[in-house]
């Protein structure tokens, strides 16, 4: 296992007359190798709270990119924000076609390996293994949902630990891989075993679902149906629609919307008991 701890120091200078005062605030980050698949080495970045307890909830973020590409750091602003709120946060790499010549099925295997790694090392990382939240955008949202809903797609070397997270934070997620859904041309007849929409069942984790009403990849009606089925199986799904917004509207570059979705995420985490009220 490779591990590197980096400290980010924010120096604030206060000047009063001839007196200068410096305040240092540190946030630690660990870079860890969590999996080797063939010749591919996969890493994660782990962000820790300033004053971690012995055990706290964690959020793992999976980037979007259609299982073809994408950036590990898509959700870095989210990770840094929620680490400051007292959660352990994780940015997970996984195999994609452009860099590894792999399939969406391999990506799901990696997502499950990520959560298993966090559970297996929970004590060392000061994570409550029963309170790991999976999150992601677009195809990364699919991976987050699929870790909770889809059986199989397990790496042979993985330990027999459930990869199911305790809750889901989904940003315009790919939830339908069937005919007419996203990615069907790659998933094909295997969609019944891969599509989250087709595998909703009792015990699905509580879910926060963000979607723009002008998203050309994820129809609003599909999201509404997903939320309805979640209700029918006895699970909570809070669907928040952003009027007139397109795919990827939640990213940090759209600062105003980013801050709104972060606040709504905080409210969800408080309601589900992952954050204390008023934190």
| DSSP state for residue 249 in the 8-state scheme | T
Contacts of residue 127, defined as CB under 8 A and 6 or more positions apart, other chains included, come to: 55, 56, 57, 58, 88, 118, 119, 121
> What distance in Å separates the CA atoms of residue 17 and residue 107, rounded to the nearest whole number?
58
Q: Which domains does the chain have, with CATH numbers?
A: 29-271 (3.40.50.1820)
Q: 19 — alpha (psi -120 to 50), left (phi > 0) or beta?
A: beta
Q: Tokens 């985490």 — which residue? A: 269
CA distances from 119 to 30, 80, 184, 206, 240 (A): 16, 21, 32, 19, 30
Task: Say if CB 92 and CB 71 are below 8 A apart.
Answer: no
**pLDDT digit string, tens, across residues 194-233:** 999 999 999 999 999 999 999 999 999 999 999 999 999 9
Kindly give the confidence (pLDDT) of every residue in the chain, 279 residues in length, as a single tens digit, with 9 standing for 90 and above: 444 444 433 333 333 333 333 333 345 999 999 999 999 999 999 999 998 888 999 999 999 999 999 999 999 999 999 999 999 999 999 999 999 999 999 999 999 999 999 999 999 999 999 999 999 999 999 999 999 999 999 999 999 999 999 999 999 999 999 999 999 999 999 999 999 999 999 999 999 999 999 999 999 999 999 999 999 999 999 999 999 999 999 999 999 999 999 999 999 999 999 999 875
8: tokens are 């980010």
């Amino acid at each position: 296992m490779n591990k590197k701890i980096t400290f980010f120091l924010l120096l604030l200078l206060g000047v009063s007359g001839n007196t200068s005062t410096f305040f240092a605030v540190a946030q630690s980050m660990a870079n860890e190798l969590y999996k080797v698949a063939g010749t591919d080495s996969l890493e994660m970045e782990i962000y820790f709270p300033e004053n971690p307890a012995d055990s706290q909830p964690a959020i793992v973020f999976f980037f979007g990119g259609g299982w073809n590409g994408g950036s590990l750091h898509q959700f870095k602003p989210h990770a840094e924000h929620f680490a400051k709120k007292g959660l352990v946060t994780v940015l997970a790499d996984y195999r994609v076609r452009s860099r590894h010549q792999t399939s969406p099925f391999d990506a799901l295997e990696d997502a499950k390996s990520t959560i298993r790694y966090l559970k297996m090392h929970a004590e060392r990382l000061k994570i409550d293994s029963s309170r790991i939240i999976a999150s992601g955008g677009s195809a990364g949202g699919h991976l987050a949902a699929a870790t909770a809903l889809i059986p199989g797609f397990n790496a042979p070397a993985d330990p027999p630990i459930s990869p199911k997270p305790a809750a889901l934070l989904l940003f315009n997620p790919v939830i339908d891989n069937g005919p007419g859904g996203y990615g069907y041309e790659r998933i094909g007849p295997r969609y019944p075993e891969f599509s989250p929409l087709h595998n909703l069942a009792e015990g699905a984790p509580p879910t926060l679902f963000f979607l723009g009403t002008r998203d050309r990849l994820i129809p609003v009606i599909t999201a509404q149906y997903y939320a309805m089925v979640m209700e029918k199986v006895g699970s909570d799904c809070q669907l928040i629609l952003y009027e007139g917004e397109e795919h990827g509207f939640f990213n940090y570059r759209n600062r105003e919307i980013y801050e709104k979705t972060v606040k709504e995420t905080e409210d969800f985490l408080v309601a589900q008991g992952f954050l204390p009220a008023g934190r």
